[in-house]
Amino acid sequence: MIVVCGALYGAIMGSYRGLDGDGWKQMLLSATKVPALFFVTFLLCLPSYFVLNVLAGLRDDFPKVLRALLSFQSLAAVVLAAFGPISWLMNVSTANYGFIVLWNGVMFAVASLLGQWRMHRLYRLLIAANPRHRVLWRVWMVLYWFVAIQMAWVLRPFVGDPTKPFQLLRPEAWGNAYVEVVTLFCRVWGR
């Protein structure tokens, strides 16, 4: 689900430039980058999260925790794919590149929130058995979002800028995603 739905949404994100010239390359690249974003973020967060679970005395519950984590990612990917037609409509409806980048960021945030909601539903039984799971669930949310935003910054572009040539990665990849998100938001909303 993560690979198929993530690739579908990635292809839609990458379609902003259209299929002319290198546009097809951006679609194909973005179709691989979205599932990669899910997997790399997950793999970066999982070891520290496992250790925190062990330190909290919850190692025996980790198979159930892992199921909840994967369910979160699967639902997030499905939600993205479901929003794909709307994102495609946005792609063909505006020439404002910054707006499209923000739009896709919002779609990822909505998908992630819905995934977290699903994960919390699976965590209810764990929390009922041991309240320490509530703290760790919150830790996962913060850790995952923090890493995912920075990882998306490093892997960009997901949406090809029509004023720039096709690029696998942006040359200035190593920066602070959080400063850039605020700057982009201010540019789009004219502040």
Tens of pLDDT along the chain (191 residues) come to: 999 999 999 999 999 987 777 888 999 999 999 999 999 999 999 999 999 999 999 999 999 999 999 999 999 999 999 999 999 999 999 999 989 999 999 999 999 999 999 999 999 999 999 999 999 999 999 999 999 998 998 888 899 888 888 887 877 666 777 787 788 778 877 76
What confidence score (pLDDT) does residue 21 get?
77
What confidence score (pLDDT) does residue 153 get?
87
Q: In this structure, is the dihedral angle defined by the CA atoms of residues 94, 113, 177 and 15, taken in order, positive or negative?
A: negative
What confidence score (pLDDT) does residue 191 get?
63
What confidence score (pLDDT) does residue 11 get?
96
Burial of 47 (0-12, 13-18, 19+ CB in 10 A): exposed
What confidence score (pLDDT) does residue 173 get?
61
pTM as predicted: 0.86
Structure tokens at 135: 């703290």
The residue written with tokens 């063909």 in the block is 92
Enclosing domain of residue 61: 2-188
The number of folded domains in the chain is 1
3-class state of residue 156 by DSSP = coil
Q: What is the distance between the alpha carbons of residues 64 and 166, in angstroms, rounded to a whole number?
A: 42
The residue written with tokens 């760790």 in the block is 136
Q: What is the distance between the alpha carbons of residues 140 and 174, in angstroms, rounded to a whole number?
A: 24
